[in-house]
Amino acid sequence: MNGVTLDLEERAKVTSGFKSGCSGHCTSYGANCENGGKCIEKYHGYSCDCSNTAYDGTFCNKDVGAFFEEGMWLRYNFQAPGIGTRDSGSRSENSPDPQNGAPDLAGEEIRFSFSTTKAPCILLYVSSFTTDFLAALVKPTGSLQVRYNLGGTREPYNIDVDHRSMANGQPHSVNITRRERTITLKLDHYPSVSYHLPSSSDTLFNSPKSLFLGKVIETGKIDQEIHTYNTPGFTGCLSRVQFNQIAPLKAALRQTNASAHVHIQGELVESNCGASPLTLSPMSSATDPWHLDHLDSASADFPYNPGQGQAIRNGVNRNSAIIGGVIAVVIFTILCTLVFLIRYMFRHKGTYHTNEAKGAESAESADAAIMNNDPNFTETIDESKKEWLI
């Protein structure tokens, strides 16, 4: 202060009422700031600084995205506005300014989510003041392709990702990281895959110029395949787009320090479009029934036998046989029970017992039959007919 260094920590040690070693709120709650958000210490709490992320919200966990209609595009100029550039209508950026232009890049980190039902289309394109470029696009087949051209090679280096069709209307997440000649690509919840640029390729992305979303509107020579996929343009949703520390969609939809770098063609409507990737992990090719089209020649493991680790080719018929056997046993048990009940009922049908005396058929009456068969009955009658005189 005023040119004098004050050692407050040492002064606190000799001052009563002060204790060292306290921790701020960010020490305990800083992990609540997600997606690269920076925890800012405050007197009664903390806050999350999301300025260098593609997210918004209190904890930097809210997607910032927009829906693109056909023919719509967004351009983010890396070079400071008004320096080395002219009106956006002419777009005649001829040469880089060595003092204000973006520096050469030895690596990039690109993250974005998208959903679309139309292919082909350009998702993201980064141009330069040289012939260098990188692009992420959806091919006519619906598969994802990443193209790098850093010079030193006659043709761009292509990375084709053949994980089913990406133009299925589902949200997909893409992470691309380059460190010199090593490129790491992660799609949705699939494992990360590393690729390597040819040894003849340069390692620097020279003089980056602009980043395009949805469509490439650039002067000069453009790769022929990029030009083919550029019409009619991307239709769908792009969300949480981030190139290194730059979030072009957020700069367009929020008033930030980088908003002056953005130029938009069309009406940009904010929407995350459900751009979060699916939380369910995809099935491996070994257990995925979609990979059973050539079961005789492929090594697909479905239905899976954990004991042998091989496909059970008659697995479906075996299951049907087991179910059929169980049903047959149940039916047989029911039939046996019915037979037992029917026999029991007919065994006692029409039979009953009486106490009718023997010889009732030949006797004149029932009383006569009883008298003939029971001698005690006669004695009882005679005894009852006796008279007594007192």
Residues 329-346: tens digit of each pLDDT: 999 999 999 998 888 887
* Residues 255, 118 share a domain: yes
* Residues 164, 24 share a domain: no
* Residues 172, 211 share a domain: yes
pLDDT for 223: 80
CA distance readout (Å), 386 to 36, 226, 390: 126, 138, 13
* Residues 68, 172 share a domain: yes
pLDDT for 81: 57
* Residues 120, 143 share a domain: yes
Give domain status of residue 152, yes or no: yes
* Residues 202, 110 share a domain: yes
pLDDT for 96: 43
pLDDT for 374: 60
pLDDT for 344: 82
* Residues 41, 113 share a domain: no
What is the amino acid identity at position 120? P
Cβ atoms < 10 Å from Cβ of 209: 23
* Residues 171, 30 share a domain: no
Domain span holding position 259: 63-80+101-270
3-state secondary structure the chain: CCCCCCCHHHHHHCCCCCCCCCCCHHHHHHHHCCCCCEEEEECCEEEEECCCCCEECCCCCEECEEEECCCCEEEEECCCCCCCCCCCCCCCCCCCCCCCCCCCECEEEEEEEEEECCCCEEEEEEEECCCCEEEEEECCCCCEEEEEECCCCCCCEEEEECCCCCCCCCCEEEEEEEECCEEEEEECCCCCEEEECCCCCCCCECCEEEEEECCCCCCCCCCHHHHHHCCCCCCEEEEEEEECCECHHHHHHCCCCCHHHEEEECCCEECCCCCCCCCCCCCCCCCCHHHCCCCCCCCCCCCEECCCCEECCCHHHHHHHHHHHHHHHHHHHHHHHHHHHHHHHHHCCCCCCCCCCCCCCCCCCHHHHHHHHCHHHHHHHHHHHCCCCC
- Name which of 117, 232, 105 is nearest 180 in CA terms: 105
Give domain status of residue 294, yes or no: no
* Residues 108, 35 share a domain: no
CATH number at residue 247: 2.60.120.200
Residues with pLDDT less than 50, the chain = 83-96, 98-99, 275-283, 287-317
CA atoms of 262 and 257, how far apart (whole Å): 11
Total tally of structural domains belonging to the chain: 2
Give domain status of residue 324, yes or no: no
CA atoms of 367 and 167, how far apart (whole Å): 104
pLDDT for 134: 92
* Residues 145, 25 share a domain: no
* Residues 161, 247 share a domain: yes
Give domain status of residue 367, yes or no: no
What is the amino acid identity at position 247? A
* Residues 37, 178 share a domain: no
